[in-house]
Structure formats: C-alpha cells, structure tokens
Chains A and B, each alone.
Chain A
Amino acid sequence: MALTSNTKKIHKEFEAEALPHMDILYNYAMRMTGNPDDAHDLLQETYLKAYRFWDKYEKGTNIRAWLFRIMKNTYINLYRKTVKEPDTVDYDEIKNFYNTIKDESADPNDLQEKLFGQLLDDEVAKALESLPEDFRTVVILCDIEGLTYEEIAEFVECPVGTVRSRLHRGRKLLQGKLFEYAKSRGFIGKD
C-alpha cells in the first residue's frame, strides 16, 4: 500500500460518486437548519468531511445514506438546539373541528384549504423545524424527499417499524403545531 496517495485520482472518484447527491442533501440541510446560509455551511462541511474520510466509505454501499449520516452528525455537532417536545396539544379539539367542517366539504383538498390555506409557507416550515430531530428527519425524508420506509431505515440506521412509528408521531405533532398556528392567527375559531 503506497502511503502517498494519488490525490488527483481520488478527487475525481469522489466527485463522480458524491456530487450527484448534493440536491437531496441540500434539501435536507434546508429543512433542518431553516435558512439558506446555514444550509450552505452544513452542506459544505458535510462534503469536506466526506472527502477527508473517503477511504472509510465502503465501495458499493449506499452512498446517499453514507453522506446523509455524515450530514446528520455534522448537524448535531454544529446546530443541535435543545428542541423540547411540543406542548401537549388537545387533539380532541382538532378532531371536533374536523368533524364540524368535514360535512360541509367532502373534498379533502378543500378541507385542507380551509384549515391551513392561509398559513404562510414559512409557518409550515417553522412548524416542521419545531419537531424533535428524530421525528423531523423521518418526516422530511418521507413526505418531502419521497423516500421509502426501507430507504429511510437505512439512512437513519433503525428498523422499518421505528420509521413507521416516528413518522406517525411526527405527523401528529406537526398537525398539532399547524393547528395552533392557524388558531393563533384567527383562521380557526376558538370554540
């Protein structure tokens, strides 16, 4: 094994393998940090780290998952804020509201429009950012990125069943959060 490595060749190989996945990683970085500057920093730091540890990557394994794990660890080191479990949400209140308006509008899109239509995209993003990291990660990967449960399980290194339960809990927390926003902005009546 030669000690002084051919850095040019390694560089080419790294670029060919890793650069095509910058899109998905940027999207994840955006949704995790919530702003373009931090997303840029996180993405760049992830790629530099991946480059330095390139010989630790096992050829032929899922490179997206490998890059994703580096990003997740980098994020945890750089940005970990203590995200508390959101305050308890009165889900019955949501359900009651849902029941009162569902008869008026049979079309679910219509219902969604009524409930959340006036929320700003920023508020939806903020609600997502408020989720604890484990839940937020699976929600981003499934609902925004469109990965399958199996792929997510590989990314986050946990069983498919755990992905399913985190996803369910994450969506539920989000539902409470969005409802709260809608209520505080007066889109949804207090009673």
Chain B
Amino acid sequence: MNCSQVYELISEAVDHRLSGDVMREFEAHLSKCGKCLSEFKAEEMIKSVLQYRLPRAVIPSEVYNAVVGALAREQQSQQRSWFASLLGSPILNPAVAFVLVITLAVGVYSLFSTSSPKLPNDKNIISQSIKNYAAVIAGNIKPKIMSHDAGDVENYFKKDVSFDVSVAPTNGCDWCGGALSEFHGVKFAHIVYKFGGEHNVLYVYQTDLEEAMKGEKIGLPAKAKDALKKTGWYFEEKPGKYNLVMWKQKHTLCTAVSTMGRQKMIAFLTGTGE
C-alpha cells in the first residue's frame, strides 16, 4: 500500500471496518510512515473526542410528553375538522353554515354509501358533489395530501386513477388538498382549494366522463347531460347557498362547488384568475 491508498482507508480504519488482511497491510504502512500515522491518529482522536465529550443527548421526559400531547391534540383536531385545525380558527361563514345545515338535513352521512341502487341520489354526481362540499366543510372528508403545489396533488392521483386529474395552479389560494374514493368501482378524485377571505373553500370532484355519461354506476340528470354535450359546461346556482360549475376535460368530468361567484370560480379553475 502506498500513501494515497492508505489515506483513502483512514476513516474505515478508524471505524474498524477493514478486514483483517487489509488492516494488517494498513498497519504495516503506518509503522514505517509517520505522515500517514499522524493522519490516522488525528482522525481517531477526533472520533473519540466526540464520543466522550458529546454523549448522546437523552430526551427529557417533559419533552417526550409534550410531543405525545401535541400528537393527541393533532388527532383531536383532525377528528373535529382538519380544516379548522389548519386555520386555527372556525371558518364557517354564515352562507357555508347554511349549506351545511341543509345538507345535514338531507343526510350528509350517506356519503358514498353503497346502499340500494334504487336511490338515484347516490348515483347522481350533482347531489353527491353538493353533499361532499358540505362534508369537506364539516371535516368529514379529510385530504390525504396537502400542498402549496398543485403538481404534488396531481401526482398523488396519477397512479391510482385511469382518467386525467387536473389540479388548477394554486395562484391566489393558500393551499390545496386531495383525496381518493371509490363508488361502485368508479374512482373519484376530490380536490379542495383553501383561500383566505370570506368565500374560502372551493371543492372539486373529478371522475370518469364516460361512466357518468353511461349512467349505470354513476349518472347525471338529463338537463346537465344535455348541457355538457352541447356546450361542455353546466351551471347550477342556489343563491346564497352554493354555486356549482360542471365541465368536461378530455375524458374527465369535473364538478366544482363553492360559495364564491361563478365567474371567480371559472377564472381560478382555468388559471385566468389573479
């Protein structure tokens, strides 16, 4: 072994990683080369200074307990509403609260229930979207991913759904979140955008356009179907309660629900907003 070969092995020698043969050659070199010997001794010494002068910091029990407590609070707030927990304050504005009360009355908790196929509301994408919107506000739909970057959320869906999911650029919104679900074998991508200010939630529901048009497992009311076929868009508005915008995007059917104005929704979703 020459000096540069030995130099390469110094750290592994210090950490006792060299095999017997290599170590013997290494030591043989050190015994006749003062330069390499002092390099080796110096590194060995630094390691031992660290080991003896900086022992492992032991976690104080109050720190351990504080972390466990923080996790428990996180769990509680997730149960209450992942939404409110993130904002640190209740966000229900009167209009949203009203939608929530109405939809609770018609049964939010039937969300994605697989009950009797005779219940058309189950299959109706429009009524599901409105229910889901209320469930988002109530914290019953919890995003599996949250990000400031629309690309992260888009990627989250990519491997699991057959249709293209598009997530609008988050310009002007604080963050977006996504979750997946399945109903009668049809996949749904749920996307939530959180804004500051009064009309602060935009919920989008995306699914397979072909399945929606076929109307077997999921379906659309005739008026929505017609409008989509003719113009590619469908709108529904309950003044003071919600605005619903539905549109086709290649093989994907998208439905957005919010209390914000229609023009503002479209501007945001098409990336022509602020």
* Interface residues of A, Cβ cutoff 8 Å to B: 1-5, 7-8, 11, 14-15, 19, 22-23, 26-27, 30-31, 36, 39-40, 43-44, 47-48, 51-52, 55-56, 94-95, 98-99, 102, 108-109, 111-112, 115-116, 119, 121, 124-125, 128, 139, 142-145, 149, 164-165, 167-168, 171-172, 174-175, 178
Contact = CB atoms under 8 A, between A and B. Distances in A.
Decide if the interface of chain A is mainly helix, strand, loop or mixed. Answer: helix
A15 B71 contact: yes
B34 interface: yes
Interface of B: 10-12, 14-15, 17, 34-35, 38-39, 41-51, 53-60, 63-64, 66-68, 70-72, 74-75, 78-79, 111-112, 140-142, 144-146, 179-182, 190
A97 B151 CA distance: 57
A171 B34 CA distance: 20
A94 B49 contact: no
Contacts, number: 142
A34 to B, nearest CB: 11
B56 A144 contact: yes
A125 B112 contact: no
Contacts of B144: 55
A7 B79 contact: yes
B108 to A, nearest CB: 11
A51 B74 contact: yes
Contacts of A115: 45
B78 A164 contact: no
Contacts of A164: 11-12
Nearest to A120: B53
A4 B42 CA distance: 58
B46 A175 contact: yes
Contacts of A31: 54, 57
Contact of B53 (A121, A139, A167): A121
B74 A52 contact: yes
Nearest to B141: A3
B70 A143 contact: no
21 contacts: A2-B181, A3-B112, A3-B140, A4-B141, A11-B75, A23-B59, A26-B63, A27-B56, A27-B57, A40-B63, A43-B59, A95-B35, A111-B41, A116-B53, A139-B50, A144-B55, A164-B11, A167-B15, A168-B10, A171-B43, A178-B49
